[in-house]
Amino acid sequence: MQESQDQATDEYARALGDAQTRLAQKEAELRKAAENHASEAEQLRCRVEQESRDTHQVEANALREQLAQLETSVEQEKAQNQELQAVQEKALRGESEKHGQQLKELRDQLEKSVEQEKAQNQELQTEQEVNRANSRLLEQLTERGQEKDKLQQELEATRKTADKCKAMLDELAIDVAQEKSRHKEELSDARLQHEKEVLGVRARYEKELRGLHEDKNRTEEEIRSQLRDEKARTRELESLQQTVEELQAQIQSMEGTKGWFERGLKEAEEMAAIEAQQRATEKSFREYGLFLGAEPGQYTLYSWSLEAVLFRLLFRLTQQGTALIQEQTGKNMDLISQPMVKEDKTSNFLGIRKDVTANELLQSKIIDKKLYEDLSAGKVTVQSVSKMDSVRNYLQGTNSIAGVFVQSTKQVMSIWEAKSEGLLTPGTSLVLLEAQAATGFMIDPVKNRKLTVEEAVAAGVVGVEWKNKLLSAERAVTGYTDPYTESTISLFQAMKKDLIIKDHGIRLLEAQIATGGIIDPVHSHRVPVEVAYQRGYFDEEMNQILLDPTDDTKGFFDPNTQENLTYLQLVERKDVTANELLQSKIIDKKLYDDLSAGKVTVQSVSKMDSVRNYLQGTNSIAGVFVQSTKQVMSIFEAKSKGLLTPGTSLVLLEAQAATGFMIDPVKNRKLTVEEAVAAGVVGVEWKNKLLSAERAVTGYTDPYTESTISLFQAMKKDLIIKNHGIRLLEAQIATGGIIDPVHSHRVPVEVAYQRGYFDEEMNQILLDPTDDTKGFF
């Protein structure tokens, strides 16, 4: 086929060459004929011109006619030649197109044949590969068939085993069902029998209780009678002379006392037996939800049946009887020996969830050795010590965020109610309630009461859907259980053991510190930072995190300013109502009306100098700048390096505490006294003095009314030394105005007059100071 195609191509090329040759020859002939005709015409023209000069006009005209005819014939011949050339070119083009079409067909056939040949080759290769693949597949199928046969054999064996297991399980299920039915019947019979026994025990113990109650009354009467007799004999013994008769009478009295004492011991043993029987009964009754050990004030959720009430009464009567026996026994023993020695009994303080001993307060560095000894000697009372701010703050804590005050309606509502009313988001509400639970108690601001989480849920102060979350937060007070040792551990220790998420724990820990200190769950009170270090409830790393918080550790949202804050910042940003600013003459009526109408915002008013100075104060002396080294240092550091005297340093630091905050000029921070001590900005040796000065901001407690009073009012009641108070008062005025501790902002002088925070006499002292009242060096 290839040869035939080549031959056809050669023939086409030869034919095309012959046609082109003939066309060239014809063109050459035409050109030659045209040249001849042109030459002849030129010769005739020349002859005509020559003859026209010599011959007459007729011949010339004839010649012109011949010339015209000759030119016409030449033109016709040219036209014929052009037509012939066009026909030849057309024929040549047709023949060329025909040959081109043939050539194209031949090429197409050639390409098709080549492609077919390639396809045949590929098919051949594919067929060979398929044959090889089929061979391999056949081998694999053979192997799979063998494996299938083997698996079928194993499956058959497994099916037989499964059938056997199923038969065994069916038999076992039947046995279990029968056993379950039998147990159900036995349980029903046992329940009926138990109910009968309980009713019998109940009736028996009611009868025994009535008998015991009667015996107890008789015993008490006998004890009282014996006590009266013993008192009479004691008076007789005291009146007798030191004679032999007196000694014999005393011996007889002692013998009588001995007999009575033996009877008392016997009765005590009987009472102990009754108490043991009561404990055994208590154990059996626990199955029915009874609990006899709860004391008044401990809120339990157990239901009290008649048996529990009767046994509780029996237990108390038994205790009272035993106490009377012990009291009588002690008095008789005193008759035998020497006059009674007064027992050294130290009363307990009321902690967060349980009593706290004076010794524990001493060990926790909440009271010092002298105050402990005064307590032990009865020179001061538990009540008076409990009212000391330095003690009360650790036992009861300071203020926490209790609820929401709606300015438009003057309504106080709980955080849960504010959430339900849409005033707070669920997230903000939950973290605030968790902070309450983690700092001691849930707070009902409407009825002004503190509740446990269980009590708060029962009272509707919080919803039951948050109960578990709040119970978890409450463990920051009651303690977590170490899963390895089962001992009680603190919030911080639970964080270190990954029992609580770190960010959540930091938020609760910061709330505890902001409300008085870290809570010791073992002893049920707050402790100073240094004691928390010692007991493993805190460390330096966590202290630095809380002292320099980032947005990640600012876990509380202020709905007023729309910013994240620490709990301390949220507490210290105590809301001041627009009405309070109006009453304090910090804003006028027009600005108050604009605020109420929403024409101006709280943020814009807060930025006004006339408002900001009363809310935040002006600058105070923050630290020391050393010119030679260009170094900024705190006042305490300057004292430590000898740049300031201790006296000057102390009064400057007291002025800081009395005007709002302790200042760290190096890190540009404002701190409470507790935070400043923990951060090392001031020394622990000055902590109590600075806490006392800080009360010029937070307020003093009136010892008679227990209300919060100002610095000036505390001076008037001699709760603070006058010169010291004048110095702190002058510092407040110099930094923005006298602080109203009740409303947590500064007030103009005339308002301070009206509220009793200042008077004209003190104003004159400060306007015309003497050396005695110039308190800063």
Note the pLDDT tens digit of each residue in 67-76. Answer: 777 778 777 7
Residue 460 pLDDT > 90? yes
Assess whether pLDDT exceeds 50 at residue 394.
Answer: yes
Residues 157 and 263 occupy one common structural domain: no
In a domain, 232, yes or no: no
**Taking 90 as the threshold, does the pLDDT of residue 527 lie above it?**
yes
- Domain end among 592, 616, 640: 616
pLDDT number for residue 331: 36
> What backbone phi and psi angles, to 5 degrees, belong to 488?
-85, 130
pLDDT of residue 767: 78
Q: In this predicted model, what pLDDT tens digit does every residue of 678-729 receive, in sequence order?
A: 888 999 899 989 998 999 988 988 888 878 899 999 999 888 888 888 889 9
Residue 230 in any domain: the answer is: no
pLDDT top residue among 34 and 774: 34
More confident: 246 or 709? 709
% of the chain residues with pLDDT over 90: 23
SS3 state of residue 768:
coil
Residue span of the structural domain in which 608 resides? 576-616
Q: Tell me what percent of the residues of the chain surpass a pLDDT of 70.
A: 75
In this structure, are 40 and 159 located in the same domain? yes
pLDDT score, position 104: 78
Say yes or no: 418 and 536 in one domain: yes
> What is the pLDDT, as a whole number, of residue 481?
92
C-beta of residue 607 within 8 angstroms of C-beta of residue 589 = no
Give mean pLDDT, residues 44-73: 68
CATH of the domain at 560: 3.90.1290.10
Q: Which pair of tokens denotes residue 579?
A: 């009405």
> Long-range pairs for 667-675 at CB < 8 Å and ≥24 separation?
667/548, 669/547, 669/548, 671/547, 672/568, 674/513, 674/517, 674/528, 674/529, 675/513, 675/547, 675/568
CB-count exposure of residue 437 (10 Å: 0-12, 13-18, 19+): buried
Q: Say if residue 444 is in the same domain as residue 516.
A: yes
On whether both 415 and 432 belong to a single domain, the answer is yes
Pairing of strands 738-740, 745-747: antiparallel
DSSP state of 626: E
What digits encode the pLDDT tens for the residues 563-619?
A: 777 787 777 685 677 888 888 899 999 998 888 888 888 888 888 988 888 888 887
One-letter amino acid at 539 equals D
**pLDDT tops 50 at residue 113:** yes
Distance CA 232, CA 225 (A): 11
Q: Report the length, in residues, of the chain.
A: 777
689 contact partners, CB below 8 Å, separation of at least 6:
650, 654
**What mean pLDDT, rounded, does the chain reach?**
77
Q: Structure tokens of 171?
A: 């038999």
pLDDT score for 549: 66
207 found inside a domain: no
pLDDT in tens, 419-430: 998 888 898 899
Contacting residues for 209 by C-beta, under 8 A, at least 6 apart:
310, 311, 313, 314
Chain centre to alpha carbon of residue 316: 46
pLDDT by residue (tens digit) across 720-756?
Answer: 888 888 889 988 988 889 999 888 889 998 888 899 9
Q: Does residue 646 form part of some domain? A: yes
CA–CA separation, 41 and 70 (whole Å)? 7
Does residue 94 surpass a pLDDT of 80? Answer: no
Say whether 527 sits in a helix, a strand or coil: strand
517, 533 Cβ separation under 8 angstroms: no
Tell whether 540 is covered by a domain.
yes
Q: What's the number of domains the chain is made of? A: 7
In this prediction, residue 248 carries a pLDDT of: 52
pLDDT band at residue 777 using 50, 70 and 90 as cut-offs: low
Predicted confidence (pLDDT) at residue 334 exceeds the cutoff of 60: no
pLDDT over threshold 70, residue 489: yes
- Cα–Cα distance measured from residue 548 to residue 558, given in angstroms and rounded to the nearest whole number: 19
* 702: DSSP letter: P
What pLDDT sits at residue 433?
95
CA angle centred on 589, ends 586 and 592, rounded to 5°: 75
Composition of the chain by helix, strand, coil, percent to 5: 65, 5, 25
Number of other CB atoms surrounding residue 522 within 10 Å: 14
| Mean pLDDT on 46-55 | 64
User: What is the Cα–Cα distance from 512 to 515, expressed in whole angstroms?
Assistant: 5
Q: Cα separation of 266 and 274, whole Å?
A: 12
State the DSSP H helix or E strand holding residue 268, giving kind and residue range, or none if neither. Answer: helix 244-285
Residues 245 and 151 in one domain: no
DSSP result, 705-762: T--EE-HHHHHHTTSS-HHHHHHHHHHHHHTTSEEETTTTEEE-HHHHHHHTS--HHH
CA–CA dist 402, 433 (Å, integer): 9
Q: Average pLDDT in the 15-30 region?
A: 73
Which of 176, 204, 231 is the last residue in one of the domains?
176
pLDDT of residue 461: 93
Mean pLDDT of 183-195: 70
472 belongs to a structural domain: yes
Q: Is the pLDDT of residue 242 over 60?
A: no
* Residue 321: burial class (beta carbons within 10 Å; 0-12, 13-18, 19+): buried
| pLDDT at residue 189 is higher than 80 | no
Domain membership flag for residue 195: no
Residue 249's pLDDT band, with cuts at 50, 70 and 90, is: very low
User: Do 148 and 16 fall within a single domain?
Assistant: yes
What pLDDT score was predicted for residue 307?
Answer: 39
Element (H, E) at 458: helix 453-459
Q: Is 288 strand, coil or helix?
A: helix
What is the H or E stretch that residue 403 is in? strand 403-406
Exposure of 225 by Cβ count < 10 A (0-12 exposed, 13-18 middle, 19+ buried)? exposed
In this prediction, residue 653 carries a pLDDT of 94
Check pLDDT > 70 for residue 643: yes
Are both 466 and 413 inside the same structural domain? yes
d(CA 691, CA 658): 9
Same domain, 368 and 408: no
- 405 and 466 assigned to the same domain: yes
- When mean pLDDT is compared over 120-124, 195-199, 276-280, the highest value belongs to 120-124
Residue 92 included in any domain: yes
State both tokens at 730.
């002058």
pLDDT at residue 312 greater than cutoff 50: no
Distance of CA 103 to the CA centre of its chain: 88
11 and 49 share a domain? yes
AA letter at 387: K
Q: What is residue 301's predicted lDDT score, i.e. its pLDDT?
A: 32
| Confidence (pLDDT) at 102 | 74
Same domain, 436 and 525: yes
First to last CA, the chain: 125
